[in-house]
């Protein structure tokens, strides 16, 4: 049984800056794999390489055992890869419901329809509304996405990512800038997600990481200096020295 | 806070829903009135305005809905017009041949130009569409067999047997009206359809749309081809109206004027492009009676409408409706 998502020997440099060096990484079904490291360690670059926004200098990427190293973003999405962005990325002039409905539409694969109105269309709006309910933002359905508070936008992004029914989800700092109450709710939602999707989680909130992660990989200067269950990583002297020890981000 | 918020696209579209029928009713009355009281000159003027409106409508699909600013759209008008002119020059006057050939030619040109232009974004897209249009403009100039820079006179309008006679100015005007109305309805449906929603989404946030699994470029290319074909249809009608084609139809001035009409009317509302085209053509007519430097007066008008009426004429109308 191969991993849902696997990277082998991934390397990427921007000039003299090494963002990823000979990196191996997997996400198995039913696990949350956290990728942590100090700022500039290359975490977001790694997500870009996995999602297809960036091309690696070397190395290969596999989705459910199938090589996708050269596949564009939208093709990887079709193969079951979803993602959220570090800076919230929604369609600002669309309503909350429309944002999720268009994500459902993407999954349905029937967008070359020119005559019938896209709204109201129960085949798009019912699954979309169900997702909003699940994430507790159904009351905001008609609000323009541009008017959402930061935490609400994070939840909307998650709803959009889930609407494409991914097998693997890449989450880039889902808790960044979110208030403590909403962070609590997000952590609970993510914990429950584990049952249906594999998650690669990049996050600075160490409480959340150690609560959620089944496995943690520590990235420093593009290199994985440690990888394993939280208890092992927490005790690793290299990690303590490089990262957790002088952690000021908590 | 409240003033800074914008209604979502879908909501803004609804406001246009009540204006567009009025626009077409007013237009029908204008054609009828011009025919009854004002005389052939004004029927022809309105016909030209309707044809120009068709081209502006095509451009608004790209600029307003998809967020793709093309500065070379007159090229497709020119291709449609030249297809009619060249076929007529060879004695092929049947509209059943001329029109499909013209539409296929403009669609094919749009497919090629679109496929190459859509690799770029923003200012680069503007420049590359302009460059293609200029290439076609100079190519038309060098067609000495078909009049070169002097242009080509068309001796007979497209012949549709006994079904419609384009030689009759009244019939021709109503044909243009019906085509404009049909294209408007089709594009308004498209705008609200799943396809239109993808275009609007990609205009809003291309990266997000890719991350949702949309091959954004493919959708934009289809929109580009539809737009180029409609502009080609406008060219077919224009050639028939003026009974003449010339490279000037494709000059970048014409492309710029189309863009000005779309901005003047209010981008993305579709009926706004029609209003913008009429405002442009009629003001040009009116102002050029007083001075040959009519653009000197038109320029400030455009600036005023864009500054005061955010959202162009359509935006002004929508806000007037809300105040009432």
Domain boundaries, chain B: 9-252
pLDDT tens, residue by residue, A201-230:
999 888 889 999 999 999 988 888 888 898
Chain A: residue whose CA lies nearest to B186: A115
Report the C-alpha gap between A137 and A134 in whole angstroms. Answer: 8
pLDDT tens, residue by residue, B21-39:
889 999 999 999 998 898 8
What phi and psi, each to the nearest 5 degrees, are found at residue A3? Answer: -70, 155
Alpha helices in chain A (DSSP H): 43-51, 73-78, 96-108, 122-134, 150-163, 180-193, 206-212, 230-235, 237-239
Q: Closest Cα to residue A202, out of A92, A40, A80, A28?
A: A40
Sheet containing A223-228, strands listed edge to edge, beginning at the edge strand earlier in sequence = A81-84, A168-172, A198-202, A32-36, A215-220, A223-228
Q: Do B204 and A91 lie within an 8 Å CB cutoff? A: yes
Q: How confident is the model at residue B44 (pLDDT cuts 50, 70, 90)?
A: very high
What DSSP letter does each residue of A208-233 carry, written as one string?
HHHHH-SEEEEEETTEEEEEE-HHHH
Q: Do A106 and B214 lie within an 8 Å CB cutoff? A: yes
Rounded (10°) CA dihedral B112, B114, B120, B123: 120
pLDDT at B12 over 60: no
Nearest to B5 among A53, A115, A147 (CB): A147
User: Smallest CA–CA separation between A121 and chain B, in Å?
Assistant: 10
Tokens, residue A224? 């994985």
Report the C-alpha gap between A197 and A82 in whole angstroms. Answer: 10
Domains of chain A: 5-90+165-244 (3.40.50.300), 91-147 (no CATH)
Range in B13-22, B89-98, B184-193 the model is least confident about: B13-22
pLDDT tens, residue by residue, A64-95:
989 999 999 888 988 899 888 877 789 999 99
The DSSP call for residue B162 is T
B310 interfaces chain A, CB cutoff of 8 Å? no
User: Smallest CA–CA separation between A166 and chain B, in Å?
Assistant: 10
With contact defined as beta carbons under 8 Å apart, do B54 and B258 qualify?
no
Report the C-alpha gap between B49 and B43 in whole angstroms. Answer: 10
Q: How confident is the model at residue A238 (pLDDT cuts 50, 70, 90)?
A: confident
Report the C-alpha gap between B202 and B321 in whole angstroms. Answer: 29
Strands A17-27 and A5-14: antiparallel
Check residue B16 and give its pLDDT: 52
Alpha helices in A135-236 (DSSP H): 150-163, 180-193, 206-212, 230-235
What DSSP letter does each residue of B106-126 carry, written as one string?
HHHHHHHHHHHHTTS-HHHHH
Report the C-alpha gap between B44 and B37 in whole angstroms. Answer: 13
pLDDT at A249 over 50: no
Contacts of B193 in chain A (CB under 8 A): 113-118
What DSSP letter does each residue of B35-47 carry, written as one string?
IIII-HHHHHHHH
User: Smallest CA–CA separation between B106 and chain A, in Å?
Assistant: 20
Region B282-303: mean pLDDT is 84
Report the C-alpha gap between B101 and B99 in whole angstroms. Answer: 5
Q: Which long-range contacts (CB under 8 A, 24 or more apart) does A125-130 make?
A: A125/A97, A125/A101, A127/A163, A128/A97, A128/A100, A128/A101, A128/A103, A128/A104, A128/A159, A128/A163, A129/A97, A129/A100
B4 interfaces chain A, CB cutoff of 8 Å? no
Asked whether the ipTM of the predicted complex exceeds the cut of 0.85, the reply is no
pLDDT tens, residue by residue, A30-62:
899 999 988 878 888 999 999 998 999 999 999
With contact defined as beta carbons under 8 Å apart, do A242 and A218 qualify?
yes
Nearest to B9 among A74, A93, A112 (CB): A93
Most confident range, picked from B10-24, B125-139, B289-303: B125-139
pLDDT at A185 over 90: no
CA A210 to chain centre: 17
Region A104-112: mean pLDDT is 85
Tokens, residue A172? 């880039």
**What residues pair up with B42 in beta bridges, in sequence order?**
none
Q: Do B208 and A91 lie within an 8 Å CB cutoff? A: yes
Q: Do B205 and A144 lie within an 8 Å CB cutoff? A: no
Report the C-alpha gap between B150 and B192 in whole angstroms. Answer: 43
Region A121-135: mean pLDDT is 91
Nearest to B193 among A83, A85, A117 (CB): A117
Average pLDDT taken over every residue of chain B = 89
Tokens, residue A127? 């699954």
What SS3 class is residue B16? Answer: helix
Nearest to B212 among A72, A103, A117 (CB): A103
Check residue B9 and give its pLDDT: 44
Report the C-alpha gap between B276 and B298 in whole angstroms. Answer: 12
With contact defined as beta carbons under 8 Å apart, do A199 and A34 qualify?
no
Q: How confident is the model at residue B48 (pLDDT cuts 50, 70, 90)?
A: very high
């Amino acid at each position: 049984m191969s991993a849902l998502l696997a990277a082998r020997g991934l390397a990427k440099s921007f000039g003299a800056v090494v963002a990823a060096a000979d990196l191996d990484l997997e996400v198995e079904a039913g696990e949350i794999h956290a990728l942590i490291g100090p700022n500039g360690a290359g975490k977001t670059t790694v997500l870009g390489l996995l999602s297809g926004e960036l091309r690696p200098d070397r190395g290969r990427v596999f989705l459910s055992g199938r090589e996708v190293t050269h596949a564009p973003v939208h093709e990887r999405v079709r193969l079951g890869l979803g993602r959220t962005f570090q800076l919230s990325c929604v369609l600002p002039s669309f309503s909350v419901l429309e944002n999720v409905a268009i994500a459902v539409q993407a999954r349905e694969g029937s967008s070359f329809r020119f005559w019938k109105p896209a709204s109201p269309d129960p085949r798009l709006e019912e699954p979309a509304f169900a997702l909003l309910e699940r994430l507790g933002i159904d009351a905001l359905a008609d609000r323009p996405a541009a008017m959402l508070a930061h935490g609400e936008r994070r939840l909307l992004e998650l709803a959009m990512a889930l609407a494409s029914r991914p097998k693997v989800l890449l989450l880039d700092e889902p808790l960044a800038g979110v208030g403590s109450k909403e962070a609590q709710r997000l952590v609970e939602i993510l914990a429950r997600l584990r049952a249906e999707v594999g998650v690669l989680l990049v996050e600075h909130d160490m409480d959340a990481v150690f609560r959620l992660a089944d496995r943690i990989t520590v990235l420093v200067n593009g290199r994985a200096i440690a990888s394993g269950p939280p208890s092992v990583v927490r005790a690793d002297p290299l990690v303590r020295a490089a990262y957790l020890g002088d952690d000021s981000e908590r | 806070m409240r003033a800074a918020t914008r209604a979502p696209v879908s909501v803004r579209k609804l406001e246009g829903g009540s204006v567009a029928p009025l626009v077409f009713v007013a237009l029908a009355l204008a054609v009828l009135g011009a025919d009854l009281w004002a005389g052939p000159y004004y029927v022809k003027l309105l016909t030209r305005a309707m044809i120009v409106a068709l081209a502006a409508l095509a451009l608004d699909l790209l600029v307003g809905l998809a967020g793709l600013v093309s500065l070379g759209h007159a090229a497709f008008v020119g291709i449609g017009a030249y297809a009619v002119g060249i076929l007529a020059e060879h004695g092929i006057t049947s509209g059943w041949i001329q029109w499909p050939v013209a539409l296929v030619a403009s669609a094919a040109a749009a497919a090629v130009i679109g496929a190459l232009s859509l690799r770029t974004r923003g200012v680069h897209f503007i420049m590359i569409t302009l460059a293609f249009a200029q290439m076609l403009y100079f190519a038309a100039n060098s067609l000495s067999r078909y009049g070169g820079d002097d242009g080509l006179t068309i001796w007979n309008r497209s012949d549709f047997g006994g079904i419609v006679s384009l030689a009759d100015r009244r019939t021709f005007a109503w044909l243009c009206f019906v085509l404009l109305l049909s294209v408007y309805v089709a594009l308004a449906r498209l705008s609200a359809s799943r396809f239109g929603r993808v275009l609007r989404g990609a205009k809003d946030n291309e990266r997000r749309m890719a991350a949702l699994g949309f091959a954004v470029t493919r959708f934009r290319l289809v929109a580009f081809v539809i737009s180029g074909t409609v502009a080609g249809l406008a060219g077919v009608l224009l050639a028939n109206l003026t009974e003449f084609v010339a490279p000037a139809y494709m000059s970048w001035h014409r492309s710029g004027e189309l863009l000005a009409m779309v901005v003047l009317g209010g981008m993305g509302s579709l009926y706004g492009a029609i209003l913008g085209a009429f405002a442009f053509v009629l003001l040009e007519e009116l102002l050029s009676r007083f001075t040959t430097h009519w653009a000197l007066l038109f320029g400030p008008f455009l600036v005023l409408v864009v500054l005061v009426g955010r959202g162009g004429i359509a935006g002004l109308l929508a806000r007037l409706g809300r105040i009432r």
